[in-house]
């Protein structure tokens, strides 16, 4: 039989023991038989005896007297064992199962049934399965990448690259983080909204807009839910959040930029200053990191050699001007004194926060109004500064937050001060003409948080399917 074909191959060589067949079944195999599938992570807690597992072939060791197959599923890996059959004279006996194992290709998906045995000598989980039967659901061609392949090649074959245990864990860590954030928001009476991603005009910089045809006119992909999450404040929602896609037409090829990313946003009413926003932000981070450490801490240590640290509150807060002085004293001058902190400056101030406060996070506050959007509220005693912040984590900015300007006359004046035409912002300014409470919020890049938490060097490693200036596939 040709196991190199792309059609489904179903091979079964022995029936299940009666004790197994009499047990309740669930989960129908492609072959038409019915069996109970056990996740590999649960084998250690399972009793010795009949068992069925499904996954893909990771390695095959085809030895003269015994064959070994390492099978991996979404939860872990297990060793399958099949002693070869021999005649009394020592010659090889007919053994269809052995022939099937010899023909297995790495990456093939199959179901294995056999006898589970606990054996502490087995390095892979302390258990192994002595094979009774194999049901090959899908045969794999030669895998075109390896674990040490370059990142661009692995991105070309991302659906295979994602089979690595590290990638599986990254996805689970992200799920746990998002769930923890949502739980915190819901428990604190926030409302989840889903803002449109097709917009009639820019929400932030026109230079970073993707323009798309929209019937007889043009539309733009949303760079941020900023305007729409603010719209929920005059609507009386009070506290809202969203986790959704955002798009930036930014031709950057750095390790931390993407043209499509997942933005974590929150906005809420009746705040006194941006300090309230920072307090919410740090509480969310603590909730998320606590959940990650409890659920995945050991696995993260094993696969990434990273100890998850749950940060203490409050996070350090340093005004931007002071942060630049500190960085200068460390021997690095930010190129433009009136500009934002650059990447090296972020690394330096993060190192300072770790050395001084023992903290991986630091808020940089009080950004100049000249480099902040028109809707950021300015200090009453110094209009050159805004009530805003950036959150730095392990040397990289992951978020921007602020108190918003809610007074229509001041907001209009600030827009003009930025050279913007209020008429072009009319739909946005309407939000503030009919009553709106003091409010503020933040936007945070999800993948950046996960990248920095796991000490990965590139955003591509922690993004399910990365999109950048030269990548639209797969």
Q: Are 97 and 115 in contact (CB under 8 A)?
A: no
Count other Cβ atoms within 10 Å, centred on residue 314: 14
Q: Are 340 and 369 in contact (CB under 8 A)?
A: no
Q: Are 84 and 62 in contact (CB under 8 A)?
A: no
Q: Does 248 carry a binding-site annotation?
A: yes
Q: In Å, what is the CA distance from 151 to each residue of 155, 213, 258, 447, 459?
A: 6, 33, 15, 17, 11
Query: Which residues are registered as beta bridge partners of 55?
Result: 110
Q: Does 435 carry a binding-site annotation?
A: no
Q: Does 446 carry a binding-site annotation?
A: yes
CA angle 225, 230, 231 (to 5 degrees): 100
Q: Which of 362, 341, 366 is nearest to 351 (CA)?
A: 362
Q: Which of 270, 202, 243, 200 is nearest to 440 (CA)?
A: 270
Q: Does 468 carry a binding-site annotation?
A: no
Q: Does 445 carry a binding-site annotation?
A: yes
Task: Report how far residue 141's alpha carbon sits from residue 137's, in angstroms, rounded to the nearest whole number.
Answer: 13
Q: Does 163 carry a binding-site annotation?
A: no
Q: Are 235 and 193 in contact (CB under 8 A)?
A: no
Residues 6+ apart with CB under 8 A from 5: 139
Q: Does 260 carry a binding-site annotation?
A: no
Q: What are phi and psi of 150, to 5 degrees?
A: -65, 155
Tell me the binding residues. 204, 248, 397, 400, 404, 445-448
Tell me the binding residues for L-aspartate. 204, 248, 400, 404
Tell me the binding residues for ATP. 397, 445-448
């Amino acid at each position: 039989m040709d196991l190199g074909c792309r059609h489904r191959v179903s091979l079964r060589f022995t029936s299940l023991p009666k004790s197994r067949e009499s047990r309740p079944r669930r989960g129908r195999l492609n072959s038409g038989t019915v069996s109970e599938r056990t996740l590999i992570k649960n084998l250690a807690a399972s009793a010795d005896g009949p068992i069925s597992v499904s996954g893909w072939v990771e390695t095959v060791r085809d030895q003269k007297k015994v064959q070994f197959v390492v099978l991996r599923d979404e939860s872990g890996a297990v060793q399958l064992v099949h002693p070869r059959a021999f005649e009394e004279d020592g010659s090889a006996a007919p053994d269809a199962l052995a022939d099937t194992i010899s023909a297995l290709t790495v990456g093939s998906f199959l179901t294995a049934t056999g006898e589970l045995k606990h054996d502490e000598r087995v390095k892979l989980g302390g258990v192994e399965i002595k094979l009774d039967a194999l049901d090959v659901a899908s045969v794999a061609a030669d895998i075109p990448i390896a674990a040490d392949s370059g990142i661009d090649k692995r991105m070309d074959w991302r659906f295979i690259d994602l089979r690595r245990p590290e990638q599986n864990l990254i996805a689970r860590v992200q799920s746990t983080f998002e769930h923890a954030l949502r739980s915190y928001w819901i428990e604190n009476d926030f409302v989840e909204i889903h803002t449109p991603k097709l917009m009639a005009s820019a929400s932030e910089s026109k230079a970073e807009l993707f323009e798309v045809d929209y019937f007889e006119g043009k539309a733009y992909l949303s760079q941020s839910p900023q305007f729409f999450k603010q719209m929920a404040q005059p609507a009386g929602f009070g506290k809202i959040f969203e986790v959704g896609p955002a798009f930036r037409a930014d031709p950057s090829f750095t390790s931390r930029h993407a043209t499509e990313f997942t933005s974590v946003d929150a906005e809420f009413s009746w705040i006194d200053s941006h300090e309230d926003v920072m307090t919410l932000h740090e509480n969310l981070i603590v909730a998320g990191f606590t959940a990650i450490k409890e659920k995945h801490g050991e696995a993260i240590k094993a696969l990434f050699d990273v100890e998850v640290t749950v940060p203490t509150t409050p996070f350090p807060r340093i005004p931007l001007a002071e942060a630049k002085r500190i960085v200068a004293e460390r021997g690095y001058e930010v190129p433009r004194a009136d500009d934002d902190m650059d990447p090296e400056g972020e690394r330096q101030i993060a190192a300072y926060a770790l050395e001084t406060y023992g903290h991986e996070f630091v808020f940089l506050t009080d950004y100049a109004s000249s480099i902040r959007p028109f809707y950021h509220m300015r200090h009453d005693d110094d209009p050159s500064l805004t009530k805003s912040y950036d959150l730095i984590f392990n040397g990289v900015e992951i978020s921007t937050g602020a108190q918003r300007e809610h007074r229509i006359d001041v907001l209009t004046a600030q827009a003009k001060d930025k050279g913007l035409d209020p008429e072009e912002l009319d739909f946005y300014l309407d939000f503030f003409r009919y009553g709106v409470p003091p409010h503020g919020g933040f936007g945070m890049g999800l993948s950046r948080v996960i990248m920095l938490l796991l000490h990965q060097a590139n955003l591509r490693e922690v993004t399910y399917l990365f999109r950048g200036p030269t990548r639209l596939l797969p």
